[in-house]
Amino acid sequence: MTKDPKKLLLTLMIIAIFIALVAFAVGIFALSLKEYIIAAAMFIVAGWQVVNFFKWKKLL
C-alpha cells in the first residue's frame, strides 16, 4: 500500500466506484431473474459505496 494519504484516498475512491458499479449491475441482473433479496442487497451495497465515495472525497 501507499504511504501517501491522498493517494490512498484516491485509490479507495476508485475501488468504491468500481464496487458500486458492479453491485448495481448484479442488482439489475438479479431483478431480471426475480431474485429480489439479492437485488436489494446489491443496491444497498452500491448505495453504501456511493456514501463512502463522497465521504472520502470530502477528506481530499
What is the extent of the structural domain holding 42?
5-59
Q: How far apart are CA 56 and CA 49, in angstroms?
A: 10
* pLDDT in the model for residue 20: 97
Report pLDDT for 60. Answer: 84
Per-residue pLDDT of the chain (60 residues; tens, 9 = 90+): 568 888 988 999 999 999 999 999 999 999 999 999 999 999 999 999 999 999 988 988
Confidence (pLDDT) at 1: 59
What's the pTM value of the predicted model, to 2 decimals? 0.85
What's the number of domains the chain is made of? 1
Is the distance from CB of 56 to CB of 9 less than 8 angstroms? yes
